[in-house]
Amino acid sequence: MTRRDLLRSMAAAAAISAAEAMFPGILFGAAGSPGTGAAELTPSDGGVTWRKTPCRFCGVGCGLLVGVSNDRAVAVKGDPASPVNRGLCCVKGYHSVMALYGKDRLTRAMVRKDGKLVPVPMKEALDLIASKMAETIKAHGKDAVAMYGSGQWTIPDGYVASKLMKGAIGTNNLEANARLCMASAVTGFMTSFGLDEPMGCYDDIDHADVFVLWGNNMAEMHPVLFSRLLERRLKNPAVKIIDLATRWTRTSMAADRSILFKPQTDLAIANAICHEIIRTDAVHEVFVRDHVSFHEGKTHIGYGLEDKFTFKDEPKTIDLARYRELLADYSVEKVEALSGVPARELRYLASLYADPKKKVMSLWCMGFNQHTRGTWINNLVYNIHLLVGKIATPGNSPFSLTGQPSACGTVREVGTLTQRLPHGDVTEEKARKLAAEIWGVPVERIAAKPTYHTVEMFRAVDRGDIRFLWIQVTNPMVTMPKLRRYRDGLRKDDRFIVVSDVYPTPTTDVADVILPSAFWIEREGMWGNSERRTQHFERMLPPPGEAMSDTWQMIEVARRLGFEKLFPWSEATHIQEIWKEYRRFQAGPEHEMAPYEELRRRPGVMWPFVNGKETKWRYNGQYDPAAKAPFDFYGKSDHRAWIWFRPYEAPPEVPDAQYPFWLNTGRVLEHWHTGSLTRRIPVLHQAVPAAYVEVHPNDARRLNIVNGGRVRLTSRRGTLILPAQIDGRARPPEGQVFVPFFDESYLINELTLDAFCPISGQPDYKKCAVRLERA
C-alpha cells in the first residue's frame, strides 16, 4: 500500500464514520470503500438481492421487491413485473420493511404468573397452551375453546387453524377478523351468485369509462388502485370518477363529481337507480331474460344487539313485474327526500349505468360491508349491474375491494369462519365428507352446525361459554365495537387468552400467554388479494429471538394435543406440503389453484387457474372454462344471477336530541388498521402521530371548538376526549364527525355500537350517535 492509498483510505474512513455519526441508521460503509478494486465492482445500490413478495398491508396486494442484504431488509421497490401495481407502491408499502425493526419486537414467549407477564422458553409456553386447551375441553366441552385469526393470516396459517379446530378438535369455534371487514361482501356474493369473490379483476380499470365509488375513500384506502384510476382518466379525459360518500375526502377532491348522502340511505339510492333504469326502459332485456332471476327475502330483520341473536332468511322467487311493484317507493323524487341527494344527481347516476356505450365499474369496501344491512347493499349494487347487463365483461364490473392482504386468500377461500370449510359450508354433508376424506378424520368429527360469529364469539367469552381463546395476527382489543364489554369479558378470571403477535398491543395486555411470531418475510407463506390472485413469498430473513411462524405454533400445539398424524410435515417443507393438500379442496374449473412451483415463480397467479391459464372474467364463456354458455352464473342451481329486492331500513341508532351527531370511524392512508405496525415506522408515525376528531367548521363554531382544541365525544357506551381537526384532510357534513381507529391511546371503539348485519354478522362501525362538547 502506498502512502497515498493509506491517506486516501484514512480520509474515506473518517468521512464514513463522520457521516455515520451524523445519520444513524445509514450504512455509508456498506458499499465498500472507494479505491479498492472489489468495491468498484459492487453494484451501487449497496449489493442487495431483490426478492418478491406481496405487500404486508392492504387487500390490493401490490407486488414488492424487498432488498435484502446480510439477513436484513434494507429497501423496497415496487415490482414492475406485478400486474397489480406495475412498479408503484404507496407510502406504507415503500416503508413496510421498517416494521420489522421496531425496538420493542416480541422475541420471547411470555406467561402471566401472579398477574405479571414473565418471559419463559417457547417450549414451556407451547406446553402450557396445549395443556390448558385439553383441560378446558375436558371440563367444559370442545365448544369451550376457540380461535380468532385474521385476514393477515397466511393461507397455511388459516389452513392449519381450520384443520386443527374443525378436523382435529371438532368445533366450529373458528373465526377471523375478516368477519369485521368482509363478511357482508361474502354473503352478498353468496346470495347473488352462489359463489364468493369478484367475477372481474383489476384489468377492468383499463377498460371502464365510468367509476362509481360507493362509500369508498379509495385515494387513502386503496391508493395504488386509485392511481390506476387516475392514470386511466389522464389518458382518456372522457373517463369519469364519481364519488358517492357520506363525507368529503381526498377521493372526493380527485373525483369529477362528489355526491354526499345521508348515512344508510345508500340502500335507497341503489334502489332509485334501479327504479330509474326500469322507468327509462334501459333494462337489458335479453340479458335479464336469459341470465337473471328475481327474489325477495324477509324484511325488518333486526340488528343483533341482543346476545344469541339468530336470523334465517326466507327467500321467495318473484318476477320482474313484482320487482317493479316493490320498487315503486324508490322514485328519484322520494329518495331525494330521504337521502339528501338531488333527484337530478340520481338521474345522472342512473344514466351512467344505463348508457349502453359506457362501461361502468362500481367499487366499494367498508362503507358497504360495515353496515347493518351490509348483505343487502352488496345485493343492490349487483342488481344495478345485472339490470343493464354490465357484468363479467372487461370494464363492466361490480368490484368488491378488500381491506386485508389475505381476507380473500385465507379467510374466505380457506374458510376460517364458523360456517365454512376449505370448500363449502359445514352444514353441507358433501363438504363435510370431502374435508373428512382429505384430512383423514371421521366425518362425524366435523360439526355440522356453525357456532358463533365474531361478535357472538366475544359475547360467549364474556358469558363464559368460551373459556379458552387463541388470538393470532389481530388486535381485537382495539377493533371490537362496544369495546369495554368485550375487554372486561376477556379479563375475567377463568378465561385463558393466548395472543400471537409481533409487537405488544392492547390485546397482548390482556393475554395469559404471548407467543412471539415470525413476521411476514421472516417465514414462507401465501396471501390472496381482492382479484383472486394468490401470491407467494419466501422466507428471506431469520426471525428474531425465539419468534416462530403462526403456522408452526399451531402445529406444535396440535402435536402436543395428540394430533401428530394430522400434522406430519417437516419444518423445512411444511408450507409446500400444506399447499399441496389444500389445493385438493379447490380442484375443478370453478376454483382450481396454481401449483406451488408456479406460485414461487410468478408475482401472483389468479384462480381459477385451469390448464396453465388464469381466468380474468368468471361466468363469461369467452374467458371462464367453467362457464357453459356466453354467460353462465353456475354458482346458482338455476344458472342465473339473482336480483334481490331489498328495501331501505333505518339503522338501529340514529342521532337524537341527547346524542345529536353521527359518528363514523375508519382509516387514514399512513396507518394500517390498529397502527401496531405503522406506528413503529417513524416516517408514517410522524406524518399522522395521533388520532383526532374531524368536525365540520359550522358545528365547531357553534360549539366553540377550535382546530386542535380538545373535544369530548360521548355515546351511550363510552366517552373519549381527543383533539379536533377542522377542514383537515377531510370534511364531514354538518351533524357528523369522523375518528380514525389506528391510535390505541384514543380507543374510539369504546363508543361504537355492536349492531351487525343479521345475514353476515358483520358489525357497523360507520354509524352510531354521539354527543360533542368542548372539553
The catalytic site residues sit at 92, 181-182, 366, 403-404
258: β partners? 243
Q: How far is the CB of 641 from another protein (least distance, A)?
A: 34
Taking residues 216 to 235 in sequence order and writing x for each that binds another protein by CB under 8 A, - otherwise, the string is ---x---xx-xx--xx--x-
Q: Of the listed pieces 93-101, 125-133, 173-181, 447-455, which binds another protein according to CB under 8 A?
A: 93-101
Q: How far is the CB of 259 from another protein (least distance, A)?
A: 19
- The residue (of 254 and 318) whose beta carbon lies closer to another protein is 254
Of the candidate residues 54, 78, 398, 608, the single one contacting another protein (CB under 8 A): 78
Cβ contact 141:172 at 8 Å: no
Which residue, among 58, 175, 221, has the nearest Cα to 480 in the 3D structure?
175
Preceding amide of 398 cis, omega within 30: no
- Asked whether position 706 contacts another protein by CB under 8 A, the answer is no
- The residue (of 219 and 335) whose beta carbon lies closer to another protein is 219
- Asked whether position 36 contacts another protein by CB under 8 A, the answer is no
Cβ contact 760:184 at 8 Å: yes
- The residue (of 31 and 134) whose beta carbon lies closer to another protein is 31
- The residue (of 522 and 624) whose beta carbon lies closer to another protein is 522
Residue with cell 382518456: 236
Cβ contact 175:150 at 8 Å: no
Q: How far is the CB of 752 from another protein (least distance, A)?
A: 25
The strands making up 525-528's β-sheet, listed across from edge to edge, are: 525-528, 533-537, 605-606
Residues 542-561, interacting with another protein (CB under 8 A):
none
Cα–Cα dist 173/166, whole Å: 8
Residues 501-530, interacting with another protein (CB under 8 A):
none
Cβ contact 765:187 at 8 Å: no
Cell of 201: 379483476
- Asked whether position 149 contacts another protein by CB under 8 A, the answer is no
Residue with cell 385515494: 219
- Asked whether position 258 contacts another protein by CB under 8 A, the answer is no
Q: How far is the CB of 218 from another protein (least distance, A)?
A: 10
Q: How far is the CB of 665 from another protein (least distance, A)?
A: 19
Which residue, among 410, 414, 421, 412, has the nearest Cα to 448 in the 3D structure?
421
- The residue (of 21 and 328) whose beta carbon lies closer to another protein is 21
- Asked whether position 31 contacts another protein by CB under 8 A, the answer is yes
Cβ contact 162:422 at 8 Å: yes
Residues 319-348, interacting with another protein (CB under 8 A):
none
Cα–Cα dist 172/161, whole Å: 11
Of the candidate residues 82, 177, 416, 725, the single one contacting another protein (CB under 8 A): 725
How would DSSP label each residue in 172-233? Answer: --EEEGGGGTTHHHHHHHHHHHSS-S-SS-GGGGGT-SEEEEES--HHHHSHHHHHHHHHHH
Residues 727-756, interacting with another protein (CB under 8 A):
727-729
Of the candidate residues 84, 89, 109, 700, the single one contacting another protein (CB under 8 A): 89
The CA distances from residue 146 to 156, 423, 457, in Å, are 18, 21, 8
- Asked whether position 253 contacts another protein by CB under 8 A, the answer is yes
* DSSP assigned state of 140: H
- The residue (of 568 and 682) whose beta carbon lies closer to another protein is 682
Q: Of the listed pieces 45-53, 184-192, 437-445, 645-653, which binds another protein according to CB under 8 A?
A: 45-53
Q: How far is the CB of 78 from another protein (least distance, A)?
A: 7
Where does 427-566 show beta strands of DSSP type E? 468-472, 496-501, 513-516, 525-528, 533-537
- Asked whether position 88 contacts another protein by CB under 8 A, the answer is yes
**CB-side neighbour CA atoms (13 Å) of 365:** 22
- Asked whether position 586 contacts another protein by CB under 8 A, the answer is no
- The residue (of 13 and 721) whose beta carbon lies closer to another protein is 13
Cα–Cα dist 55/46, whole Å: 22
Q: How far is the CB of 507 from another protein (least distance, A)?
A: 20
Residues 653-692, interacting with another protein (CB under 8 A):
669-670, 680-689
Cβ contact 706:775 at 8 Å: no
- Asked whether position 81 contacts another protein by CB under 8 A, the answer is yes
Of the candidate residues 64, 84, 98, 606, the single one contacting another protein (CB under 8 A): 98
Q: How far is the CB of 501 from another protein (least distance, A)?
A: 17
- Asked whether position 16 contacts another protein by CB under 8 A, the answer is yes
Residue with cell 347493499: 377
Judged by CB under 8 A, the number of residues near another protein is 88
